[in-house]
Chain A
Amino acid sequence: MGLELTQDEKNMLEGKQGKAARKAMEIITTLGEIYGAERLIPIASVQIAGVSYHNLGEAGLEYLDEMAEDGKVRVLTTLNPAGMDLEEWKKHGISEDFAVNQQRVVDAFAKMGVITTCTCTPYLIGNLPHYGEHISWAESSAVCFANSVIGARTNREGGPSALAAALTGRTAEYGFHLEKNRIAEVKYEVKAELQNTDDFGLLGQVIGERTRKKIPYIVGIKRATSEELKSFCASVATYGGVALFHMEGITPDKTSIPDETEIVTDDDLNNARQKLDDENAEIDFISIGCPHASIKEIAHVAELLQNKKVTEGKTVWITTAKPTKDLAIKMGYYDKIEEAGAFLVSDACCAVAPLKGRFKGLMTDSAKACFYARGKNAFKTEIRTIEQCIREATT
């Protein structure tokens, strides 16, 4: 059985709705054919990755400019973090050259009608699908959150395929869009005590490394905040490529329960922590907000930083989405953070900003941030709670 297209979809493929829509439809239909989809389905929203000029480069930008010539998005489309705060980049030590190129990337997306949010947590700032809704998202942590915590349906898209979905309003029906591919495969019984976002990141690391791409069914978590879940999502996706998990009593999807059972203990979490704690790490960079900090986390950090000063020689980035930063300004959190000598950085994060060579050691509450700090920036790392991170920054 081949891929069947509607008249509207055929028109796009034949170029009757412009060059960009044609190219986009070629991408969507080819992926559909590769994965044996029978039809395309309309999607409610898109999250695009590949926004930092640092990752995209000149060629990626050239492609975006080409698509922006006549391409327009057909559904709500938001953007992943850029390599810098789009307004306050100068005071964060970003070069003029980089800023100019980063702005060109954002402008190309804006021309296509993309909402230039630049955040990895679109679900916190207005791109919030509902249970069962089909979406086409890139950004592995957001994909995992949308599929698992919300119960929306998306594959793990890349930058160009997510853009193609935005320009056509369609995706091919395969993978996680189909009920039968969303069933749990391995049960994980968590016997460890989890306290904070860093613990949930470590749990994601343990389960991710063990399960790889197999869908986990997790039991033993009595409660988890949205912040803890976003930390878990980021980590389990980074260390295992997990795009969907089930957590008993917490996530909404129905699934059969697998027989194969793995146990996760406090020892496993401690081992994971040891793996992320480099010996002799000289901490000169502290970053919180991977994934982007919620307003609740920012309020907490502002309180911790009140009447404190960041130690000379240390740099603190609290990274978040622009609308959340605006709210933090309104609530006075921004002033408290900045008066202490820390930065509330919007639109960017420590994984995609051009930071190589600027720091030696990162302390963070995020297991995902540790992975990228090591791999992309050659920083040493230590994972701690938010409270410990702020203490390290101010003593």
Chain B
Amino acid sequence: MNLKGRRIYKGKVVGEVLLTTHDISFYGGCDPDTGEIVEKGHELEGKSVAGKILVFPTGKGSTVGSYVLYALSKAGKAPLAIINKETDPVVAVGSIISEIPTVDRIDIGKLENGQKVEVDADKGVVSIVE
């Protein structure tokens, strides 16, 4: 199955879905050294975004969040790709400066945790591999 969306930042990767229905604030909500979600009560609290195809509705919180994505990428703990319902400017800028393939306008309800998917951000397409 293919889901069609919009390119935010280019790149093509295959990886495992880590999905949440909660919005993510990277500043204060995600440990910049480990990639662990630390926001109290967040659906992904205690889980690491490192190396995952991170799927969430949209970003929230401070614009410093863009630099947290950059810190994650420098530490090798960034998500492999980001899929949003609607990408907010904080995540968009973070993806660009950290070069994380990112697409939005995807019906994220069609994705499940643990699925293997291919993100072709250039074309804005997410394909479920298995």
Contact = CB atoms under 8 A, between A and B. Distances in A.
Nearest to A164: B93
B3 to A, nearest CB: 19
A161 interface: yes
Contact of B67 (A34, A157, A160, A164): A160
A50 B63 contact: yes
A138 interface: yes
Given A62-B74, A158-B89, A161-B89, A27 B97 contact: yes
Contact of A159 (B9, B63, B71, B74): B63
A227 B6 CA distance: 45
A3 to B, nearest CB: 13
Interface string A38-58: 000000000001100001111
B64 interface: yes
Interface string A56-78: 11111011000000000000000
Interface in A174-231: none
B71 A30 contact: no
Nearest to A155: B89
A31 interface: yes
Interface residues of B, number: 19
A58 B74 CA distance: 10
A26 interface: yes
Interface in B27-82: 32, 63-64, 66-68, 70-71, 74
B71 A160 contact: no
A31 B63 contact: no
Looking at A30, A50, A60, A138, the one whose CB has the most chain B CB atoms below 10 A away is A30
B119 interface: no
A314 interface: no
Contacts of B97: 23, 27, 63, 160
B96 interface: yes
B67 A159 contact: yes
A157 B92 CA distance: 13
B8 interface: yes
Interface in A3-32: 23, 26-27, 30-31
B25 interface: no
A56 B66 CA distance: 10
A30 B101 CA distance: 13
Interface string A137-158: 0100000000000000000011
Interface in B1-29: 6, 8-9
B96 A26 contact: yes
B67 A60 contact: yes
A169 B97 CA distance: 18
B66 A30 contact: no
Given A30-B92, A34-B89, A63-B97, A159 B66 contact: yes
Nearest to A162: B63
Contact of A161 (B8, B68, B70, B93): B93
A59 B68 CA distance: 7
Nearest to B66: A160
Contacts of B9: 26, 30
Given A31-B92, A31-B93, A57 B71 contact: yes
Contacts of A161: 63, 89, 93
B92 A34 contact: yes
Looking at A26, A138, A158, the one whose CB has the most chain B CB atoms below 10 A away is A158
B70 A59 contact: yes
Given A30-B9, A30-B96, A63 B70 contact: yes
A56 B68 CA distance: 9
Looking at B9, B67, B70, B97, the one whose CB has the most chain A CB atoms below 10 A away is B67
A34 B63 contact: no
A23 B99 CA distance: 10
Contacts of A158: 63-64, 66, 89-90, 93
B63 A30 contact: no
Nearest to B104: A34
Interface of A: 23, 26-27, 30-31, 33-34, 49-50, 55-60, 62-63, 138, 157-161, 164
12 contacts: A27-B97, A31-B92, A34-B8, A34-B87, A34-B89, A55-B64, A59-B70, A59-B74, A60-B67, A158-B63, A158-B90, A161-B89
Given A59-B71, A160-B93, 4 more contacts: A31-B89, A62-B74, A158-B89, A161-B63
Across chains A and B, which 3 residue pairs bring their CB atoms closest together, nearest first? A158-B63, A59-B71, A60-B67
